[in-house]
Amino acid sequence: MASIEYVIRPFDPLGHYFEVDLIIWHPHAVQEVKMPAWIPGSYMIRDFSRQIVSIHAYKINKKLDLIAPLIIDAIDSNTWQIHTLQKPILIRSKIYAFDSSVRAAYLDQFRGFFNHTSLCLQATGFTEKPTLVHIEKQDWMNTWSLITSMNPKRVSKNGFGTYHVKNYDELIDHPVSLGHFQIVRWKSFGINHHMVIQGATEAIDGARLEKDLKAITQAHIAFFEPDTVQAPFKNYIFHVNASAHGYGGLEHRNSTALLCKRSDLPYKNLVIQQPSYEDFLGLCSHEYFHAWNVKNIQPAAFQPYDLQTRNHTQLLWLFEGFTSYYDDLQLIRSGVISLDVYLERLSKSINLVLSTSGRLKQSVAKSSFDAWTKYYIVDENTPNSVVSYYAKGSLIALALDLLIRQYTKQEKSLDDVMQRLWKKHGNLNGSGSGITENGFKDVVLEVIGDEFKSAWNPFENRYITGKDDLPLKDLFEANQWSLVEAPFTGSELALQRLGIRTLNQDAWVKVTHALDHGSAHLAGIAAGDLLISMNRERITPMNLNSLLERFANQSIQVMVFRQDILHECVIEKNDRHFSKWTVQSIQSNT
């Protein structure tokens, strides 16, 4: 008999409730239980306990009969204590689940999804114990199926029943999808892969997805294990929720949860929206790469995860940024996108980083450390104060790749470093020990040689712990590529010169961000302002670009509402230079 068991019931689809029983057969005299405050892979305190509607404790017998209620005392917002007399107990909680993101839990009459961090309390003293998980099918679920990567023990053909995990850490790494699915299946080097899709309103082009995803997954496996083509898992599941809007993913040890727009997917009878589909393939590639880089190769600060508090590391630029570099690189290596598309996507990443002044105020090491309070909590000043460890981290990977190639005369690359990182720190062949905050340097020098220290030290000081812009132009030229500067034109130029980001709100143009030192910022326009008129002409979402283009070379009188008070701002003609950058081959530039 397992020391710990969970019984999960999709309880009320119209009210969006799960009911979850935690059974502890041999509890401590004073048993503590806790709800996680965050989920690995999403570095923000989310306080999942706030969705607990009710929680009760009971003394039980071997038949799971509720013998008597027990007092359960709240210690803090995430923690409860029960006096048990060391007899078997059951803690029953009712949990609201209506979060359609990849991080939490969702239930309605059409579909269900959950991460165990949102439903399953931790039992203090038992988190390392083998655990049984019973997921019950209710009468109203009719023809629903259950899909998860957990190890099945006794399950029906539709997937409902009992699963087994080694400990709580393994439990929270297996999301569960419930409902009806379109399924794409393939094998990569003999390993079973599934993509299970919910929310698509048309028939999916499964053949296209199978072809492209097989190429991508095989490229990743061969990248880390070119000789043995082994993976750190025996099967893999892509859980996909297609919705009206949204984009994101969350990695797990042998699965991932993905959120995409319906238009991102390929359909049998519809024209593929190619850039959107390429974004979706990039998302799949990113989360799949994480099965190696962060789920196996980890910061020492994450071993073990403490799910009650922030786990700080300065290395997210390595784990998220390098993954963001390789996600698109593996798309071209696998042949699912062309070189031109790859260079366009790479150029977009470069321009994204260079377009905001936050990169000059925060290093990627600091951005990684402060992710818990800054990166995930976005406000109107974020572009002016925060650098993305995803975006600039990917450029650090690019720059280091180019630097290593230049230094070794094309004999070695960042690939060699990542493969060594896997051999040394991965669980398949290495120790699985976490990387210390300064440990990546050691791996780089092991691969390239100790003499590379003269290049690494200033690189780290200037671009990782420092805030300097990367020398991409010089590095590209040293590797027979070029980074070409091109001016913005037309309304694109005007919007850049104005230095604002906007959204449409009830037929108004609302300023969401005023970028540092842009013309709008210098004129006093602020985030939250509603743009009313430009040189006495009404501003609408439809005519903003054309007005900006017309008045690009002169001063502009702009009327705005701020907190329902009318103000006038004068935007002077600004000669600040704006450029965008494009990566090209030397040959295409001659």
Quickly tell me which residue has 């005007």 as its tokens.
494
* β strands within 252-381, DSSP E: 255-261
Token digits of residue 554: 């002169």
Q: At what angle do helices 339-354 and 274-289 cross, to 10 degrees?
A: 80
CA distance 162 to 133: 5
Where does residue 399 rank: exposed (0-12), middle (13-18), buried (19+ CB within 10 A)? Answer: buried
Average pLDDT for 327-336: 98
pLDDT attached to residue 490? 64
Question: Tokens 């935007």 label which residue?
Answer: 571
* 176 within 8 A of 135, measured Cβ to Cβ: yes
With beta carbons less than 8 A apart as the criterion, state whether 232 and 428 touch: yes
Helix, strand or coil for residue 304? coil
Per-residue pLDDT band for 269 (boundaries 50, 70, 90) equals confident
Task: For residue 320, give the DSSP letter.
Answer: I
pLDDT, position 38: 98
Tokens of 65: 């009969």
Query: Average pLDDT, stretch 59-79?
Result: 95
For residue 243, the Cα-to-chain-centroid distance in whole angstroms is 17
Q: Mean per-residue pLDDT for 5-34?
A: 97
pLDDT digits (tens, 9 = 90+) for 141-165: 999 999 999 999 999 999 999 999 9
CA pair distance 408, 404, nearest whole angstrom? 6
Could you tell me which residues are beta bridge partners of residue 12? 17
Model confidence at 588: pLDDT above 60: no
For helices 439-448 and 391-407, the axis angle rounded to 10 degrees is 30
Secondary structure class of 518 (helix, strand, coil): coil
Indicate the range of 88-102, 390-404, 512-526, 571-585 predicted with least confidence: 571-585
pLDDT-derived band of residue 590, with 50, 70 and 90 as boundaries? Answer: very low
- When pLDDT is cut at 50, 70 and 90, the band that residue 574 belongs to is low
Q: Answer yes or no: is pLDDT of 576 > 80.
A: no
* Helix residue ranges, H only, 355-452: 364-369, 382-385, 391-407, 414-425, 439-448
Calculate mean pLDDT across residues 476-505: 82
Burial label for 512, CB within 10 Å (0-12, 13-18, 19+), is middle
Do 286 and 411 meet the contact criterion of CB atoms below 8 Å apart?
no
Contact yes or no for 452/408 (Cβ under 8 A) = no
Residue 347 has φ and ψ, to the nearest 5°, of -60, -40
Rounded to whole angstroms, the Cα distance separating 383 from 419 reads: 34
What is the reported pLDDT for 342? 97
SS3 for 526? coil
CB of 106 closer than 8 Å to CB of 98 = yes
- pLDDT (0 to 100) of residue 364: 98
Tokens of 590: 């001659």
At 375 the pLDDT is 92
Task: Extract the tokens encoding 146.
Answer: 């259950």
**Phi, psi at residue 396, to the nearest 5°?**
-65, -40
pLDDT above 70: residue 494: no
**Which of 305, 247, 251 is CA-nearest to residue 115?**
251
Show Cβ contacts of residue 588 under 8 Å, excluding neighbours closer than 6 positions.
none
What are the tokens at 329?
Answer: 């690189």
Work out whether strand 248-251 and strand 255-261 pair parallel, antiparallel, or are unpaired.
antiparallel
- pLDDT at residue number 49: 98
Q: Is 105 helix (H, G, I), strand (E, B) or coil?
A: strand
* Mean pLDDT rounded to a whole number for the chain: 94
d(CA 531, CA 562): 9
Q: In this structure, how many other beta carbons lie within 10 angstroms of the beta carbon of residue 373?
A: 12
For residue 498, what pLDDT band results from cuts at 50, 70 and 90? confident
Per-residue 3-state assignment (H helix, E strand, C coil) for 485-516: EEECCHHHHHHHHHCEEEEEECCEEEEEEECC
Whether residue 139 has pLDDT greater than 80 = yes
Q: Name the DSSP class of 574.
A: -
Sorting pLDDT into bands at 50, 70 and 90, what band is 555? confident
Q: Cα(185)–Cα(459) distance, rounded to whole angstroms? A: 44
Residue 571 to residue 521: CA distance in whole angstroms: 9
